[in-house]
Structure 1
């Protein structure tokens, strides 16, 4: 989970540019081009929500142009070798953010926490 602030309003308010930034992020992680699906909803008078789903990651954004040109990002990775900070930095650059803040949360309950603490970050059957 992350938040970015002080973004470029021309990018933050443009559904096509937001979609391109999110698609680029999952393509850089190795998603095959034909495997990526996108949904974007534009709010009026401002703001939007978008989601990109792929075999390697799911990336969601919710924007608040009126609140310091900010956005909330939810990043889910389905590969064990992803550097979340690198993905966040790339998205922050794409949106022209002046500031970023992130919180890492391991999903999967007790089993996932135990697996990661033992050094095995991958799930079976994935």
Structure 2
């Protein structure tokens, strides 16, 4: 009688080894609309949030202010179905390509990046 194989930890060790975390174990995660390229939001993930995201297909983040995991849209219905996750070249940020339902920002805006700042251009 053989036992079931041990589950592979997600993220896999070879992926986890590439992550460069903050001192509190977090990696920045940028959510981007998969089909338009629209940048939606920035949140934080630790290994468990990344594991949950990769295994459920729903964006799961770590709330620094509340000290708990949260699935984007679990209470609002404005979910992020994850299509793809990419790791940047330095290993210190993740890019989640998502299908966003409704607004991504808690203020009700489509994106959290809805407040443009003026850029002064030096005469050249």
TM-score strictly above 0.5: no
Larger RCO (alpha carbons 8 Å, 6+ apart): 1
TM-score normalised to structure 2 length: 0.29
Q: Which has the higher helix share?
A: 1
Q: Which has the larger radius of gyration?
A: 2
